[in-house]
Structure 1
Amino acid sequence: MNFLTLAKQRCTTRGFNEQKISDADLGQILCAGRVAPTACNKQPQRIVVVRREENIAKIRKAYQTFGSSCVLIVCRDRRNELIRPYDKKCSGDLDIGIICDHMMLEARELNIGSVMVGLFDPAIIREGFNIPEYIEPTALLFLGYPNNGFLSPERHETARKPLNETVFYETYI
């Protein structure tokens, strides 16, 4: 499949059935995250794979799980971050976003649904999974097989702004 076709087919899944993801497919998804580019190749990602029901229940205390039986707690190691010298902006969140995107695209290629969220209580995640202070829980990536299939790849024709509203050439305006 070509990349744009795959990108159009990837969609947010907020309802998973009980079918388990195989170890081989999970390995492929994790490998896609491993090869994702990061600023200066710092590779800040630290991923906690959660599959046991008692641990999924811990995640539910921080955010809903949509019925997912496989959650990736995607963290970043703050000990060796790339900080832009001009305004002190850290590249870590961008890196984690790229890593999650790679994993979501690989999941979709395997017909596995996904949703990435950042709106969760990191203190609950940190405590529940023994995450040290220098490791920051950044995103939760929920994986599984969709209850109701995938959204149409054609939805972008009406659900997305046209390029001329979001892309500027040579200068902003």
Structure 2
Amino acid sequence: MTAKGSLPAAAGSVVVPYGHVVGNEKWRGSEMARRLQGKTKLIFEDGLGLVDFHLSNRICVLYISEADLVAGDEFKRRLVRFRNASSLGGIVIVEKTPISEQYFSAVQKLVVLQLGMVLLPVANQEEASQLITQLGPVMVGRGRQLTRQLRDLRNGDTFIERSITETCRGMLTVNSKNL
């Protein structure tokens, strides 16, 4: 599920209404889209480029499926192209299953250490949709702060890395109590 030849949107070019998630058209009809539509308002949009879902105007999700991991290196090129071409804060959600587990440590090194992005493993699309649903409302008010923290992380600030991890854990805990 990659978009070849198209670059991601710039920060602010996709306006995400409060309580909504903007999804790439390629997800229409998928299990994840069906599950998201039950819990949040999902708007499909063509032309999101490398981005799978926008949670806010500045924060987006790139999803790596088990099939993407097993198939080869195309997902790596996609992540590097996104990081090099975008000012958006990116969260990478990756399917970690018994089949894809052998590839996970390499993906973790690439995403977290080399690209300075947030990596969140899930077991399947159902878990991914729950995570996106929980992250969406929190990211609306924290988009600028998280984008700044992600930029600092790419510059090698380990204090910020710990801060982001603690922030993400706190957001998931608060949102799970509210659901």
TM-score, normalising length: structure 2: 0.27
Which gives a bigger RCO, structure 1 or 2 (Cα 8 Å, sep 6+)?
1
Q: Which has the higher helix share?
A: 2
- Point out the structure with max Rg over C-alpha: 1
